[in-house]
Every structure is written in C-alpha cells, then in structure tokens.
Amino acid sequence: MAHQDGRREPPFSLTADFLRKYDVPGPRYTSYPPAPHFRTGWSESDILALFERSNGIGDRNLSFYVHIPFCPKQCLFCGCTTEIGKPGSAVTGYFESLHREMDRVLPLLDASRPVTQIHFGGGTPNAAPIKHLAEVVRRLLQGRPLAGHAEIAIECDPNLITPRKLEEIRAAGFNRISFGLQDFQKATLDAVNRGFPRIEPADLVAQSHSLGFTGVNLDLIYGLPHQTPQTFSDTVRKTIEAAPDRVATFSYAHVPWAKEHQKALEAKGLPDAESKIAMTVAAYEGFSAAGYVPIGMDHFARPDDELAVALATGNLHRNFQGYCSKRTTGQVVSFGASAISQLHEGYVQNVKESSKYTLATDAGTLPVERAYVLTRQERFTRQVINSIMCQGRLELDRIGTDEGLQERETRDLLAAGIERLDGFRQDGLCEFDGTTLQVTTAGRLAVRNIAFLFDPLLGTGEGRYSQTV
Ligand code: SF4
C-alpha cells in the first residue's frame, strides 16, 4: 500500500493469529455515535428543523436512501429489517406511504442542492415493481440538479433477476448494482433457503457491464452451514472468475435472540470460530492475490474502481450504506420504514415496522422513532473516527479545524487515545510521529480497534455489536 506521502509498505500476509488477537465486538462506525445511542422523545418540529438546517450547515450534496422492507421468502441467515411474503397490495400501499413521506420532507431541502447518490436497499428492492422504483427516482430528482457523476444504486437478490429485468432496472436510470450472491455452493444456499441465481454469476456481471452498470458488486457471506475453508476458497476463486468490480465478504452474525429464524441454522451445523478465521484469511489472500484492493475491513475493489481510487486519493467516506467516495456521498436523507437520515448535525431514524410507518404517514405525521443531535465534541470525534476508518490517517494539526479547535485543544481531546497506541505500534498496525497517526496495511484489517481508542462512548449505550474482523 502507498501512503499519501508516497512511501510504500511491503505486502501484508493475514494470519489466523492476527485475527484471533483483534477479533473483538465493537461498533462498525457506519455512523458516529452508532445507532444504539439514538433516543426517542423528539417533536415533529425538532425533526423538520434538522432537515431544514441541513441546507446551511455541512455538505451541500444530497444523498437519498430508500428502504424497501419486503422479501418474497426468508433467508435463514438474514439480519436485516424486512417483512416476508407481503401481498402486492401491501407493497403498492407502502410506495404510497413513501410518497407521502417525501411530500413532507423534500420541500424542506433547498432545490439547488445537487443530488449525488440515490440508493435503494432492503429487503429486496428488485422484488418490487420496477416502475414503482422509477417513480420514486423521478420524484426525488424533480426540480433538482443531478450531479454528472451521481450514482443511482440498487441492492438485488440475483434469484429474481432475468436478462429482461436487468434491462428494466437499467432503463429506470440505475447505474450501480449489487447482487447478494452469498456463496457458489448449492448445499449452503439450500440450507439457508436461498436459491442459486437464474443467470450464472459470471454472466450476471458481464450482462450488467454490457448494459452500462459500473461498480458491479457481489456480496458473499461466510460462516454458514456446509461451508469449510476449502469450499469458501473455491467460492472466492469462482467470484474472481466472475470478475465483479467490487466484492463484500460478510462474516455471518449469529444473533438468534434478535432474529429467531436463525435458530434453524443451528440444527444444520455452523462452522466453528477457527474455520471462520480460515475463511477470512482465504478471502483476504485470494482477492489480494487476484489484484483486488482491500477497502477497510471486508470490502475489496478492482484498482480502477471508484472505491479503490477514493482510497488511494484520500477520498473514501463511510455511511450507513458502507464505504463510498466523498464525491458521491453528501448529507443522507432517507425514506421508508427503519431508514436513517445522516445529517451534519445529527441522525433521524424511522419506525421499523411497515404497518406503523404506513399508519404514521396516513395520519400526515413524520414516521420518526428516534433521533440524535451531536454536540460539537461528538462532531469532532466523528471526524476523528472517519479519518481513521476511511483515510487511515489522523493529522493532529488539522483534524480540529472544522470545529474551530486549536491544535492544543485537539491534542488534549485525543491524548487518552494517543497514550494507548503503543501496543498497536509494536504490532506494526500504525505509526505515529507526534503529529500524524498513519494506519499501516496490516492496521487496515484492525482499523476499528484503532478507532475504539478515540471513542469516549465505547462501552456505553444499548445493544450488542458484531466482532471487529
Ligand atoms: S433477501 Fe436479503 S433482506 Fe430478504 S430475507 Fe434474504 S437476506 Fe434478508
């Protein structure tokens, strides 16, 4: 990896010992503070004022997120907020609710702000009629400038994709696509109630490219029944052959106390912790050897992909949709059940159940459940954590300037974290010269552990977190 000052590091070889040492539970920092800190009790005028003030404070770019919380069937590994097997009338009703929510929020957003991103997540957005998605895109863009490099992205279940459907999605204006492939092994896909794509993954990627999609992504999950380090190495090899632009490899999080359907996987046999560690190593080594650039903890991108370029040029960013580039993200305004808006000043989260969401929008009220407004010090900490997570770098003489902090104040606020860096330096995860903290290639695999040092809220708040590695 090359540092921003041009120095190069030797390649890093991931080992099981490294993973055993640094694999501890903690936030993934898709927001700071993380969602378990959000609180109830906000008035509608508080929330409306937050959206309105986003016009004058923070990034002008607008990034829209739309949550479609429906799936035709239950994947047994699923940890998402979704509802299974809803009839078409419920889905149509949900889109009417989305439009009602947009009617309340969109007029608050300055029409001159450029839209740099629209992202549909779920659930299974591609299970909904594409004409409904296209109408939402049209409404979001009505009277607003679309940035030339804007991405309009959709998360898809590849089992529901046919060549015709792919064309329909592209014709609706989408230019980024992500497929939840999960694995190539049929025994695993059967065990988790997920089918094999109708189109072979390599053809799916090739057809997406030929239609003009860029940043084509395949998601994989490891830690599922019938997976072994050997089968997962085989899946990594086949994924590389399919040649996506990006790959995300997620470690399966078994949380049956929160997701009861996951209990069914216990009877089918889940790989033990050592096997999962070997699968993590297989993914890292396999994708790195094939020329993919590791982006953060569990993402890989081809060197010419926007994410890899953003990493190399210090323009990587992170939000609830994961890693993104600074030029495509902005303040995120979200619509739909469970959706979270990420504004400069704070966060707004909608109610999770679609029935409550519809009831609230029918009544003409905002479907908001929780929110959070950051203090000046928390905004500073957010910047510190983003800088470590995305740039792998923290410059003590610059990081406080956005919040008007002098270098001395910045050093005082970061002193406790800096003091605890020694173990990480000795393990070769970072370097610190008194002014700049630089995360090394090895450190990027444990970047959350380094970020923990600077998080005063760590260990507080509700909820359990996933492992770091
Ligand atoms: S398609 Fe995705 S969101 Fe739906 S049940 Fe499966 S994993 Fe969960």
User: In DSSP terms, which residues pair with 25 in a beta bridge?
Assistant: 467
pLDDT at 460 over 80: no
pLDDT score at 22: 87
Other C-beta atoms within 10 Å of 301: how many? 25
Query: Under a CB-based contact definition with an 8 Å cutoff, are residues 231 and 188 in contact?
Result: yes
For 49-78, what is each residue's pLDDT tens digit? 999 999 999 999 999 999 999 999 999 999
Atom 2 (ligand 1) nearest CA? 123
Rounded Cα distance between 68 and 121, Å, is 6
| CA 303 – ligand 1 centroid, Å | 29
Per mean pLDDT, which range of 3-12, 196-205, 334-343 is the poorest?
3-12
**Residue nearest to ligand 1 atom 8, measured at CA:** 78
Atom of ligand 1 nearest to the CA of 194: 6
Q: Decide which of 1.20.1250.20, 3.40.50.1860, 3.40.1280.10, 1.10.10.920 is the CATH code for 12-33+375-469.
A: 1.10.10.920
Give the pLDDT confidence score for residue 27 in this predicted structure. Answer: 87
Tell me which DSSP letter residue 54 carries: T
Confidence (pLDDT) at 5: 54
Residues with Cβ < 8 Å from 237, sequence gap 6 or more?
286
**Per-residue pLDDT at 96:** 97
* Beta bridge pairs of residue 438: 393, 431
Q: Look at residue 113 and tell me whether its pLDDT is greater than 70.
A: yes
The ligand 1 atom at the shortest distance from the C-alpha of residue 84 is 5
DSSP 39: B
DSSP 158-210: GGG--HHHHHHHHHTT--EEEEEEE-S-HHHHHHTT-PPPSS-HHHHHHHHHH
What is the mean predicted confidence (pLDDT) over 349-372?
97
Question: Global pTM?
Answer: 0.92
Amino acid at residue number 324: C
Distance in angstroms (rounded) separating the CA atoms of residues 463 and 458: 12
CA of 312 to the centre of ligand 1 (A): 33
- 138's CB contacts (< 8 A; 6+ apart) are none
Q: Which residues line ligand 1 (CB under 6 A)?
A: 71, 74-75, 78, 80, 82, 122-124, 157, 180
For a ligand 1 pocket test, name from 80, 159, 161 the mutation site with the most ligand atoms within 8 angstroms of its C-beta.
Answer: 80
Q: Is the peptide bond before 11 cis (omega within 30 degrees of 0)?
A: no
Q: What is the pLDDT of residue 8?
A: 58
Q: In this model, does residue 158 exceed pLDDT 70?
A: yes
Stretch (H or E) spanning 347: strand 346-350
Separation of alpha carbons 218 and 247, rounded Å:
5
Return the amino acid letter for 273. Answer: A
Counting from 1 in the atom list of ligand 1, the atom nearest the Cα of 180 is 2
Distance 75 CA to ligand 1 centre (A): 5
Least confident of 15-29, 271-285, 302-316: 15-29
Q: Which fold has domain 35-335?
A: TIM Barrel (3.20.20)
- pLDDT of 183-224, one tens digit each? 999 999 999 999 999 999 999 999 999 999 999 999 999 999
Name the one residue in this structure whose structure tokens are 């600074």: 326
Residue 134 in 3-state DSSP? Answer: helix
CA-nearest residue for atom 3, ligand 1, is 123
The domain segmentation of the chain, as residue ranges, is 12-33+375-469, 35-335
What the block records as the tokens of 366 is 């905002």
The alpha carbon of 86 and the centre of ligand 1 are apart by a number of angstroms equal to 14
Q: What is the pLDDT of residue 273?
A: 86
- Print burial letters for 9-42: b (CB count within 10 Å at least 16), e (below 16): eeebebeeebbeebbeebbbbbbbbbbebbeeeb
User: What is the DSSP annotation of 81-118?
Assistant: --EES--HHHHHHHHHHHHHHHHHHGGGS-TTSPEEEE
In this prediction, residues 248-255 reach a mean pLDDT of 91
Q: How buried is residue 227: exposed, middle or buried, by Cβ count under 10 Å (0-12/13-18/19+)?
A: buried
Please provide the average confidence, as pLDDT, over all residues in the chain: 92
Atom of ligand 1 lying closest to residue 123 CA: 3
> Is 357 a residue whose pLDDT tops 90?
yes
Asked whether the bond before 69 is cis by omega within 30 degrees of 0, the reply is no
Ligand 1 center–CA 194 separation, angstroms: 9
Which of 68, 73, 78, 188 to probe ligand 1 with, by most ligand atoms within 8 A of CB?
78
Average pLDDT over residues 339-368: 97
Cα–Cα distance, 433 to 333 (Å, whole number): 39
Instruction: Please report the atom of ligand 1 found closest to the CA of residue 73.
Output: 5
Residue 378 three-state SS: helix
> How far, in Å, CA of 340 to CA of 284, rounded?
31
Neighbouring-strand partners of residue 218:
179, 247
Using only the alpha carbons of the chain, give its radius of gyration: 22
Nearest atom within ligand 1 for CA of residue 77: 7
